[in-house]
Structure formats: C-alpha cells, structure tokens
C-alpha cells in the first residue's frame, strides 16, 4: 500500500555526492539492505531532478538508487560511461547482479541497457534509443542537437551487444513512433550468445515515458526478469542434448555481416519486381514455370537467375542446366580397382578421397564417381564417411569467394539413410552444412548449398565434400551416382 511521505526531508536525509555526481540512495528499510536494488535513471531534459521520485518512494518494494544526467549525455559523460559506471559500482557491489535492475526512458533507457550490460545486471527500458547514429534520422531537432553535442564519443548498443551482453535480462516497451520502432528492431536483430529480451509493443503513436505513476508495473517486470536469471546448468543440459560442434557459427555470422556480401539464402526481394526463391510457396501450381531472380550460376559476381517448374511435389530446375564441365570435383576421380576393403580409419582410396572409419566397421567401396557402390555390413560407430577436398588453383579458389556452391548426388540405400556434407575452412575456422537424408528403398537426389565467405587455401579442408554413411547407426548397402559440385546457388537441386 502506498504511503504519504515528506519527500523534501527524505531527499535531504539521503541525497549524497558520490565521485562528483549527485545521487539519492534510499534503502527499503532503515539500516538494512534488501535483496534487490532498483536504479531509477532520469530521462532527457530532466536536469538534476529524480524521475518518478514520489511514485517509487510511496510504493517502495526494494532498495532504490536515483541518478540523473544533467548534461544529457546518455549516461556516457565524455568518458564512454566510465564515471557513471564508477558511481554505480559504489552501490551495486553489495548485490547479486541478477538482483540489480536499471530503469529508464528514452535517453535513460539507453543508459539503463548500456550500464546493465556493463554490470551484467537487468534493464527495464521505455522507448530507448539503441543506436544514436540511426536515431538522428528520426529524432526531433533538440534531441539531434544533444546527440551531436556528445559527438562521436558514444557507442551503439546493437553494435556492442554481441560482445557485452552477458546474462542481462532486458525488458523493452515501446510505441509506434518511428524513432522507437526502428531502435527496437536494431536490438531485436542483434545476436549475442545468451540473449534474454522481452519486447512489448503498445498501441500508442507517441514517444512517451510509459508507466507514469504506475510503478507497480515496474516491480512486476522485475519479477518477470528475475525468472530469466534463475541459475540453470544450461551448458550441461546442452551438452547432453547436442553433440559438440567444431564449427564456429558465431564467428561465421560476424564474418558474413562484415563482408557485406550478398547472400541469396538470407536476402528476400519484397519489391514485386522480381521473384525470390524464398517466395516460391506463392507460386506452387503444378506445371507452372517461374523465373527466380536469386538462383543459378554466377556471372561477374551476380546470380544469373533461373527457371523452375513445380511438379506437384517439388520444384525442378529447367534452366540453366549444369554440365559435366561445370563440375568442380570431376577431376577428383573415385575409381577403385576392384573391391576396396576400407576398414582402416583414415584410409586413402586414392590421392583425392579417404575414409573415416573410427571403430573399424566392415566397409567395402567399389566403383567411381559415376556409380559408387558401398557395402557397410557393420556399423560400429556413427562417424563413418567418405571425404574429398577440392583440388583447384589458388586463382580458382579466389573466384569462389562469396559464392554459393551446390553439392548433389543421386542415392539409393537398402536400409537406413545417408546424407551429404559441404563445408570448408576459412577465417572463422570450420563451417559446413548437411543435406537432408534420402528415402530408403528408392532413388532420390539429395543436395546441399553452402556459401564460402573466405577460403584458407593452405588448409587440407579448404573446401570439402563428404558422404556420411552411418549417422543413423544402421548397416546398409549404398549406391551413389553423379556426385557433382557446382559454383552456383541451386536450392532446388540440379537435374
């Protein structure tokens, strides 16, 4: 229940100067420290006033720290937030980071999230600015002026989130003013390794500080965020559920972002001037031919586009049709002289292909790339595959940078399934993608596409292809025809 207070006396009793900054720290109970600390950060143009002071004090549920930013510096001052951080550290050292909450609106919403990242604490932000450079394109003149006043001496939250967003739980509430929707989108698109973000959109067009005197809602949000910070042994849980993956997907994602290379797999044209492969579901009429603008071979670094038709079940490529001359691994011949017993692990079939067979299962390989027959009579491990690395000149490797490659094969299995892997080793280490598995007992084309942003030509697996034989743990007879690798984006597979 709210209580009537003598605010002037309370401020006089509890206000203090800490490291040159005026703050107000009010414990929930005199002489004691509660489990939680709520830091209330004054918004833009509030000078030295404390935001929602009476509302929070009359309905106080935890220790409160009020802080202001008279310079309108987005709680950065001229030292990228170091001085404000030092002030906060004086108080937060007595609390568990998961029990610390920073609350702000607009400018102070930015400050709440920024300092929550630094403290590994939690943030409640109403209409916050996320990227100050982008904000200037949508802000009113005075806000633009104040952003300009801090010059380039600032950081953008969406740009630092990947590196600095630890276990912080963030609640973000916003309306439909463009300045707010754009900033919210920037934070939601960020990809830190352990993101905890709740976004609430209100049917309001104005850029305002939500909650007003309804501070009970802030306390309710604190309870919600606290549930995000429960200590679970998630690493052990993930290790139990998911096998170790030696590829570095986070570095690869960062590499893709920095390269600014067009990626047809992730870019969709909504203009209506062209039809993207990702919108194919809109055109799935049996017998209908459609020209997709973002598939095909590459010419001068751009995709040629291609025509496909829908056969009632799947899309099939009409043009362009790859030929044997377009096959990058046609020189990687796999011809064996009679049956090759490939029981030994890492055994070479020839100078181009080798066999992974860690537990020395009974494996016989016979044939060539045109028609390969494999008899896996026992499967002592799931890690059994044939592998080959691309053998081309350094100049040819350079011609593949930024491009998609498509690996395909026609396969038949008697029992159990197989799949293909296409990958490589670049600036971000290993990366790969797997094809879908085949249908047992019938011929089927399986295929996979993968983009190569960088290629380490000195590595033995700079670009590699694999036929994975035992992921299901089952012995089987396998026939594989027409293994092909093409420099092009053919997400429907090649004929």
Task: Please list, in sequence order, all residues whose beta carbon lies within 8 angstroms of the beta carbon of residue 473, skipping any fewer than 6 positions away.
Answer: 379, 382, 416
Residue 439: DSSP 8-state: -
**The domain defined by 326-489 carries CATH number 2.60.120.260:** yes
Range 7-235: architecture per CATH: 3-Layer(aba) Sandwich (3.40)
Q: How many CB atoms lie within 10 A of CB 244?
A: 5
298 strand-pairing partners: 303
The model's pTM is 0.64
What per-residue confidence (pLDDT) applies to 1? 44
Tell which residue, 42, 121, 51, has the closest CA to residue 74: 42
List the chain domain ranges: 7-235, 326-489
Report the distance separating Cα 46 and Cα 96, nearest Å. 30
Tell which residue, 385, 337, 340, 387, has the closest CA to residue 365: 340
pLDDT beneath 50, residues of the chain:
1-2
Angstrom distances, CA of residue 215 to CA of 51, 54, 210, 226, 281: 11, 10, 10, 17, 47
What per-residue confidence (pLDDT) applies to 83? 97
Task: Please list, in sequence order, all residues whose beta carbon lies within 8 angstroms of the beta carbon of residue 303, skipping any fewer than 6 positions away.
Answer: 264, 293, 294, 295, 296, 297, 488, 489
What per-residue confidence (pLDDT) applies to 278? 83
179-200 pLDDT, tens digit each: 999 999 999 988 898 899 999 9
Report the distance separating Cα 126 and Cα 242, nearest Å. 37
The packing angle between helices 107-119 and 82-92, to 10°, is 60
Strands 122-126 and 169-174: parallel
């Amino acid at each position: 229940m709210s209580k009537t207070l003598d605010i002037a006396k309370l401020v006089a009793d509890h206000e203090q100067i800490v490291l040159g900054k005026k703050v107000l720290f009010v414990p929930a109970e005199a002489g004691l420290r509660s489990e939680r600390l709520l830091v209330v950060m004054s918004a833009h143009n509030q000078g030295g006033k404390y935001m929602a002071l009476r509302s929070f004090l009359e309905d106080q549920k935890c220790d409160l720290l009020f802080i202001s930013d008279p310079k309108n510096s987005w709680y950065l001052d001229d030292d990228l937030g170091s001085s404000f951080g030092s002030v906060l550290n004086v108080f937060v050292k007595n609390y568990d980071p998961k029990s610390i909450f920073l609350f702000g609106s607009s400018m102070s919403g930015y400050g709440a999230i920024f300092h929550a990242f630094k403290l590994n604490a939690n943030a409640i932000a109403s209409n916050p600015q996320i990227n100050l450079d982008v904000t200037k394109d949508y802000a009113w003149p005075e806000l633009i002026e104040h952003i300009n006043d801090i010059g380039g001496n600032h950081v953008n939250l969406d740009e630092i989130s990947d590196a600095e967003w630890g276990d912080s739980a963030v609640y973000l509430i916003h309306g439909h003013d463009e300045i707010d929707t754009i900033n919210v989108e920037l934070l939601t698109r960020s990809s830190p390794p352990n993101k905890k973000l709740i976004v609430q959109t209100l049917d309001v067009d104005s850029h305002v500080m939500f909650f007003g005197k309804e501070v009970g809602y802030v306390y309710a949000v604190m309870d919600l965020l606290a549930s995000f910070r429960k200590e679970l042994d998630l690493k052990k849980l993930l290790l139990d559920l998911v096998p170790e993956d030696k590829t570095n997907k986070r570095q690869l994602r960062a590499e893709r972002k920095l390269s600014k290379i067009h990626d047809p797999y992730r870019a969709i044209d909504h203009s209506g001037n062209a039809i993207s492969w990702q919108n194919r579901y809109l055109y799935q009429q049996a017998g209908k031919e459609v020209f997709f603008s973002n598939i095909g071979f590459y010419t001068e670094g751009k995709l040629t586009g291609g025509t496909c038709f829908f056969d009632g079940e799947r899309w099939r490529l009409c043009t362009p049709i790859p030929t044997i001359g377009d096959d990058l691994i046609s020189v990687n011949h796999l011809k064996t002289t009679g049956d090759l017993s490939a029981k030994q692990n890492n055994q070479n079939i020839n100078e181009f292909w080798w066999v992974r067979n860690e537990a020395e299962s009974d494996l016989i390989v016979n044939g060539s790339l045109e028609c390969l027959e494999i008899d896996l009579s026992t499967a002592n491990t799931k890690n059994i595959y044939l592998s080959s690395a691309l053998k081309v000149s350094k100049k040819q490797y350079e011609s593949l940078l930024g491009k998609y490659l498509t690996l395909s094969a026609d396969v038949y299995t008697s029992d159990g399934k197989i799949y293909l892997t296409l990958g490589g080793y670049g600036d971000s280490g290993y990366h790969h993608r797997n094809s879908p598995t085949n249908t047992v007992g019938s011929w089927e084309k399986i295929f996979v596409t993968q983009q190569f942003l960088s290629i380490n030509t000195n590595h033995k697996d700079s670009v590699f292809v694999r036929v994975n034989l035992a992921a299901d743990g089952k012995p089987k007879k396998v026939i594989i025809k027409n293994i092909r690798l093409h420099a092009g984006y053919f997400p429907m597979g090649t004929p």
